[in-house]
């Protein structure tokens, strides 16, 4: 018997029914893992602590508004290639979603009057960027064209587990040049490649922001593989919003999961991963109920998985090393606003980023992100109204130790600051407010079960591209991780990738 604390051992009788796989959490990574396995005949149980699926890709309803929990800038719904991972994940369980294309990924409002749009049309985007930096015309094209090289390598092959030797051999023989191309880019970061071609400091700052808006770190800490995927897929598959809101993605995956013969339970908070002789064999819920399975998958953050669901003495050395290389990113202060439609002039774009000072890009409340999904799907709000979901980085420490009255007051003050800044983009916003709800890192921790409400892991310093990101298997036999703290990182399409990889690896391990 291992030296693991007896509190985490299976020393009570467990339910007689045994599953092939238990997935802790119904974020998109967990649901893609579950549906991939269910489609192959596995009996899967998903345990979700909240009342609906999706995690950060969930939703909530207030006074006729349907708000997305997270951002509404969605990759992965294309129809061609292999990087359309959300389309493929739904199709695996005979599901599909109606989506609405967005012609502009982001409308940037940046320091020194730099205002530009990332158009879905690639040449139109390059022309607009070049109009601001005509002296960097060649460098701009060379950098973004290099991103396409990465994307084309990814888009040539089926994206499955890089931990599975037979898959690697098969894909190498099918696509040798694409594989060699990816190997070349794996240890590289976007900032290093940008600086090969570009010297203008403000343009390099813009590329930092291009990375920061989804990786939460500047270009020199953003893996080139990820940048190549995002900077190209927005023009290839495009940004497409699911009709009915982002929560429809998780809802459809759950529907397909159940139709395939597997299960999901809500209000099922896992408090322990049960170990026997050092192997993960089951889970225990807050209500004391236990379930067993041949394989356990955690869609929780790695901090929650290895510091809360497992005893401290069970943390593998590899996890300790990982935590020295990566840290928790900030959480977010979120404002979910309902506004009168006249606040938004005709031609307003769906997604905006506002930053007034380059030096404050990574600061608390430095960069403001805005999504207005009702410009694509008006049915999410009452007639003659829009949703403005705005969010900005915020750390848990700022919201601790407050009385309920102090907490409420601090939320109201923060909302007032953000709305005042947004008036620069949307004059009359304050007067047009119909509904307001403020979420803090405490909200993210409470409803999403994420340690400190974190968005995910970010490098503590400059690392070699994606080489530091762990795959799905862990050093604990029978235990796998999926989601944003596994390869390839954050973002809805990235966690879908991790779900495909995790499902494939477990299917091979189970002989499915």
Q: For position 71, what pLDDT does the model report?
A: 74
Which pLDDT belongs to residue 168?
A: 60
Q: How far apart are CA 146 and CA 185, in angstroms?
A: 10
Integer CA distances (angstroms), 366 to 21, 150, 297, 417, 490, in order:
42, 30, 35, 11, 20
Contact 433, 338 (CB under 8 A): yes
pLDDT of residue 349: 94
Q: Provide the pairing of β-strand 239-242 with 114-119.
A: unpaired
pLDDT of residue 5: 36
Interval 119-172: pLDDT, tens: 999 999 999 999 999 999 999 999 999 999 888 887 776 666 666 667 666 666
Confidence of residue 14 (pLDDT cuts 50, 70, 90): very low
What pLDDT is attached to residue 7? 37
Of 286, 309, 261, the residue nearest 94 (C-alpha) = 261
* Model pLDDT, residue 325: 82
Q: What does pLDDT average to over the chain?
A: 87
| SS3 assignment, position 45 | strand
Check: CB of residue 332 under 8 Å from CB of residue 452: no
**Cα distances (angstroms) measured from residue 268 to each of 53, 310, 402:** 12, 17, 29
Three-state SS for 432?
coil
Domain 6-57+79-97+242-325+459-510, second-level architecture: 3-Layer(bba) Sandwich (3.50)
* pLDDT digits 0-9 by tens, 403-415: 999 999 999 999 9
CA 332, 100, 230, 218 torsion: positive or negative?
negative
Residue 280 is encoded by which pair of tokens? Answer: 């993960």
Res 164: pLDDT: 63
Q: How far is CA 96 from the centre of its chain?
A: 20
pLDDT digits (tens, 9 = 90+) for 339-349: 999 999 889 99
What is the pLDDT at residue 430?
92
The answer to whether the CB of 278 falls within 8 A of the CB of 2 is yes
pLDDT in tens, 200-238: 999 999 999 999 988 888 899 888 988 988 899 999 988
What is the mean pLDDT of the segment spanning 74-78?
Answer: 86
d(CA 352, CA 213): 10
Average pLDDT of span 301-306: 90
Question: CA 34, CA 41: separation in Å to the nearest integer?
Answer: 11
Between CA 66 and CA 11 the distance in angstroms is 44
Cα–Cα distance for residue pair 372/444, rounded to 1 Å: 20
DSSP bridge pairs for 337: 388, 436
Per-residue pLDDT at 465 exceeds 60:
no
Q: Please give the pLDDT value at position 6.
A: 34
Distance separating alpha carbons of residues 479 and 470, to the nearest angstrom: 13
Whether 486 has a pLDDT exceeding 90, the answer reads no
Closest CA to 141 of 151, 155, 152, 127: 127
Which of 242, 214, 504, 161 is closest to 369 using CA atoms? 214
**Between residues 37 and 165, the one the model is more confident about:** 37
Task: Indicate left, alpha or beta for 461 from its phi (over 0: left) and psi (-120 to 50: alpha).
Answer: beta
User: What mean pLDDT is predicted for residues 54-67?
Assistant: 87
- For the residues 421-442, what does the mean pLDDT come to? 92
Could you tell me which residue, 81 or 30, shows the higher pLDDT?
Answer: 30
Q: What is the pLDDT of residues 276-291, one digit of tens each?
A: 999 999 999 999 999 9
Contacts of 124 (CB under 8 A, 6+ apart): none
pLDDT of res. 172? 64
Res 9: pLDDT:
38
Q: Which two tokens stand for residue 430?
A: 């304050």
CA distance 444 to 86: 24
pLDDT higher than 80, residue 458: no
């Amino acid at each position: 018997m291992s030296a693991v604390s007896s509190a985490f051992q299976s020393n009570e009788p467990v339910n007689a029914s045994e599953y092939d796989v238990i997935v802790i959490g119904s974020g998109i990574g967990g649901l893609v893992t579950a549906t991939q396995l269910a489609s192959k005949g596995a009996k899967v149980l998903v345990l979700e602590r909240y009342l609906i699926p999706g995690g950060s890709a969930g939703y909530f309803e207030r006074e006729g508004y349907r708000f997305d929990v997270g951002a509404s800038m969605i990759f992965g719904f294309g129809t061609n290639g292999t990087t359309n991972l959300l389309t493929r994940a739904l199709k695996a369980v005979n599901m599909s979603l109606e989506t609405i294309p967005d012609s502009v990924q982001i409308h940037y409002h940046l320091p020194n009057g730099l205002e530009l749009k990332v158009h879905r049309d690639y040449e139109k985007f390059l022309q607009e960027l070049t109009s601001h930096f005509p002296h960097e015309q060649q460098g701009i094209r060379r950098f973004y064209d290099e991103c396409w090289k990465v994307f084309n390598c990814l888009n040539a092959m089926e994206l499955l587990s890089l931990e599975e030797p037979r898959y690697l051999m098969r894909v190498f023989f099918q696509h040798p040049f694409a594989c060699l191309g990816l190997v070349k880019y794996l240890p590289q970061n976007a900032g290093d490649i940008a600086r090969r071609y570009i010297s203008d400091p403000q343009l390099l700052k813009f590329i930092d922001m291009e990375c920061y808006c989804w990786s939460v770190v500047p270009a020199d800490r953003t893996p080139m593989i990820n940048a190549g995927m995002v900077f190209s897929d927005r023009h290839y598959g495009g940004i497409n919003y699911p009709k009915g809101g982002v929560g429809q993605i998780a809802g459809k995956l759950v529907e397909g999961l159940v139709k395939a013969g597997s299960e999901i339970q809500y209000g099922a908070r896992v408090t322990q991963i049960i170990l026997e002789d050092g192997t993960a064999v089951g889970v225990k819920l807050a209500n004391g109920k236990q379930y067993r399975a041949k394989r356990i998958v955690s869609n929780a953050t790695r901090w929650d998985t290895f510091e809360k669901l497992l005893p401290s003495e069970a943390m593998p050395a590899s996890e300790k090393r990982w935590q020295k290389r990566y840290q928790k990113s900030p959480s977010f202060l979120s404002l979910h606003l309902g506004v009168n439609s006249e606040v938004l002039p005709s031609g307003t774009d769906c997604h905006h980023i506002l930053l007034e000072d380059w030096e404050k890009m990574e600061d608390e409340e430095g960069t403001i992100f805005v999504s207005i999904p009702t410009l694509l799907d008006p049915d999410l709000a009452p007639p003659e109204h829009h949703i403005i979901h705005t969010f900005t980085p915020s750390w848990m420490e700022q919201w601790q130790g407050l009385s309920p009255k102090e907490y409420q007051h601090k939320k109201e003050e923060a909302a007032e600051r953000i709305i005042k800044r947004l008036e620069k983009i949307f004059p009359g916003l304050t007067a047009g407010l119909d509904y307001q709800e403020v979420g803090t890192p405490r909200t993210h921790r409470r409803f999403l079960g994420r340690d400190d409400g974190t968005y995910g892991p970010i490098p503590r310093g400059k690392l070699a591209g994606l080489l530091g990101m762990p795959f799905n298997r862990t050093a604990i036999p029978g235990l796998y991780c999926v989601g944003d703290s596994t390869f390839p990182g954050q973002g809805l399409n990235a966690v879908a990738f991790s779900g495909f990889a995790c499902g494939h690896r477990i299917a091979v391990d189970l002989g499915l």
